[in-house]
Amino acid sequence: MLRRTNFFRLFQSNFCRSKMTVVLDIDGTLATPGKKIDSKTIRSSDEKIGKIIIAAEHEHHLYSYAPQSIRYLYNQPDVRVVFFSSGIKERNDEFVEKLSKLAIGSMPVGITILSRNDLIASKKNKIYALGYGEHKKNIMLALKGDCKIENAAIVEDDWSYVDAEQEKNLIYSPDPRLFSEFCIDEYFVRQNKMLFITGVLDICLLNFRRGIPVTKTLSLMPNILPDGMGRPYKPNYDLPKQRKFYEHGLSCLKTVDPNVILKETFPDVICRQGR
Ligand SMILES: [Mg+2]
């Protein structure tokens, strides 16, 4: 007899072709880009343990639990993971292949990787709710089969890449280097960033399985707020300060690695000062 989870997976893979699309940025979202390597700075031991990834001859310092988060997402039969970075294709391909190997031991077949050449120039006459940026990531490029735009999320640290009318698809995950601007403890965000991303994505996924569009779930969090400063919307900077998302992400990642923990520094790590 099929166990319930196996039955669910069979159902998902054979009968429900529609998937939730998760578009992941790389720099500032999964890793901090580091220096160019030379013979003195090659750190293959750090690469082996998943601390850094060397791609296109540059170091990339992975955020804690990035491989576990990717493993969790790859394990979901109704999630389609797409990488979309403004980096060059060679760098992105090498990075994703190495990250996938750290996550599940191999590169899954058919993973879509979008790169600098896939960016589109901003249309001058368009209103960009989250602000103007020279280039945009149109996540329609990431959709396949009968996947719908309302069931897609783009995880970004730089909202200027979000295309017009795709603001509601954003999961804003600040680059930890910007912690002072957003008044979030840098250590907490840096160490727990992947828990936040996984937590928010999994809540979207649970609702998606109940027939609730991803953009609807994000609107309830909410992911964007009225700007009041001339633009229609701004990202909700308070979202990454909410502990419940980190705790939910922790419960997800513990299913793929029981050693994952929430890394605390101070008793009260979330800044209470408003933005
Ligand atoms: Mg980025």
What's the gap between Cα 249 and its chain centre?
A: 12
List CB-based neighbours of ion ligand 1 within 5 Å. 25, 27-28, 157-158
Secondary-structure class of domain 20-253 per CATH: alpha beta
CA–centroid distance, residue 176 to ligand 1 (Å): 11
Q: How many other CB atoms sit within 10 Å of the CB of residue 156?
A: 25
Residue 35 pLDDT:
86
CA–centroid distance, residue 185 to ligand 1 (Å): 19
Q: pTM here?
A: 0.88
CA–centroid distance, residue 134 to ligand 1 (Å): 14
In the chain the beta strands, taken as DSSP E runs, fall at 20-24, 31-36, 52-55, 58-62, 79-84, 112-114, 120-121, 135-136, 152-156, 170-172, 224-226, 233-235
Residue 185 pLDDT:
64
Residue 48 pLDDT:
80
Residue 73 pLDDT:
98
Give, as one character, the DSSP assignment of residue 127.
-
For the chain, the residue count is 275
CA–centroid distance, residue 138 to ligand 1 (Å): 15
| 199, burial (CB in 10 Å: exposed 0-12, middle 13-18, buried 19+) | buried
Residue 176 pLDDT:
67
> pLDDT truncated to tens, each residue of the chain (275 aa)?
445 444 444 444 434 468 999 999 999 999 999 888 876 666 677 888 888 999 999 999 999 999 999 999 999 999 999 999 999 999 999 999 999 999 999 999 999 999 999 999 998 888 888 888 999 999 999 999 889 999 999 999 999 999 999 999 999 998 766 655 555 566 777 789 999 999 999 999 999 999 999 999 999 999 999 988 888 899 998 898 888 999 999 999 999 999 999 988 644 545 544 43
Q: What residue segments make up the domains of the chain, in order of their start?
A: 20-253
CA–centroid distance, residue 25 to ligand 1 (Å): 6
